[in-house]
Amino acid sequence: MLKLVFYVPESHLEHVKTALFSVGAGKIGHYDSCCWQVQGQGQFRPLEGSQPFLGKQDEVETVSEYKVEMVLKESLVKVVQTALLEAHPYETPAYDFYEILDVN
């Protein structure tokens, strides 16, 4: 089992979650569409050559974002990554996959 953690602007929160749930992420036992999310403040500075969704090149931008966590089967990692990258509005979204230790 893996856990996906990603950051998304509030404006695209539900769109990205729906895309990930539709390919199988967020299933725990007899439940689906499972995730944990918390609102926070993201910061970045677009560099030369970037095509930012928000902000201007060479200016620090802050934006209301959500940190979202959801689990997925290891066999789904590529399809989930593809869904995330296609649904997310950022040119280079921040995300991580973590391996979850099976203690059973």
Of 69, 79, 77, the C-alpha closest to 35 is 69
Domains of the chain: 2-99 (3.30.70.120)
What's the rounded Cα separation, in Å, for the pair 70 and 6? 9
Instruction: Give the model confidence (pLDDT) of 39-49 as tens digits.
Output: 999 999 999 99
User: Considering the entire predicted model, what is its pTM?
Assistant: 0.92
Instruction: Give the model confidence (pLDDT) of 66-91 as tens digits.
Output: 999 999 999 999 999 999 999 999 99
Mean pLDDT rounded to a whole number for the chain: 96
Do 15 and 93 touch, CB atoms closer than 8 A? no
- The pLDDT, as a whole number, for residue 102 is 85
User: What CA–CA distances, in Å, run from 6 to 3, 24, 51, 90?
Assistant: 10, 16, 20, 12
Q: Is 68 exposed, middle or buried (0-12, 13-18, 19+ CB in 10 A)?
A: buried
- The pLDDT, as a whole number, for residue 104 is 81
